[in-house]
Structure 1
Amino acid sequence: MAAVFIKAANAKIRSNPWTDYFCSTHFWGPASNFTIPLAAIADTQKSPDLISGKMTGALIFYALTFMRFSLAITPRNGLLFGCHTVNATAQSIQGYRFMDWHYWGGKEKKLLAEKEAAAKEKLVEVDPAEEKRVRSGDTT
């Protein structure tokens, strides 16, 4: 009895091209894979010192490999290609941030900016007589 119901439901799903695609791995594989580029996009707001260079490199290679795979299979999977294109782009941005932070002076720039901000926050005590002289325009 259950086998007959399952067979009828499967035949109904497969008879409509849209539901056939929606119930296939051509849809659900890329749909579930989109969590990887979404996480990479969210991570662009975090500090670059948290980025793993090796993992970012592996994810770039992974994305480029499966971009190629999505075009090599029959039928071509545009959703999978789009997913890995977004992933390769997001991971490349993360790779750039990693390289900038560790090798191109990003860490030093941040430390310098923090020192400048701390210097601006410090209050400079001024002699009231000196302040009055400067405000009046007396430069002698």
Structure 2
Amino acid sequence: MAAAIKAVNAKIRSNKVLDYFCSTHFWGPASNFGIPLAAVMDTQKSPEFGTFMRYALAVTPRNGLLFACHFVNFNAQLTQMYRWYDYNYQGGKTKWENIKLEAERQGDMAGKEAQGIVNKVEQKGREAVEEVKRKVS
């Protein structure tokens, strides 16, 4: 029996099309596509019958993990939609440009301050070397 299964598996894996259709690279996205498909289908129904998260609580036994997954996904997508709207229509683009300019300015200031500290340390090091040379001589 194991040899027969091994032979079928080898036959599937030798054909690129069958190999793709029998892999998680196909079935993972194909299964996951059911979520947006259900959401699109729900747009044609009355708002009282929305099933985006309700399904997870309607099945028996209730699936709290699936509900939590849908809840987090819903809020993440809502946040992304708000960020897109804010960036493109509420002045977010100029706000981010100003933040970048301010970060560059502060980075330049920090770099200059760091260079000043390096110069002071080098000067103190040279002074220490000179003092040691004087004491040794």
TM score, norm. by length of structure 1 = 0.36
The structure carrying a bigger helix percent of its residues is 2
TM score, norm. by length of structure 2 = 0.37
Structure number with bigger Rg: 2
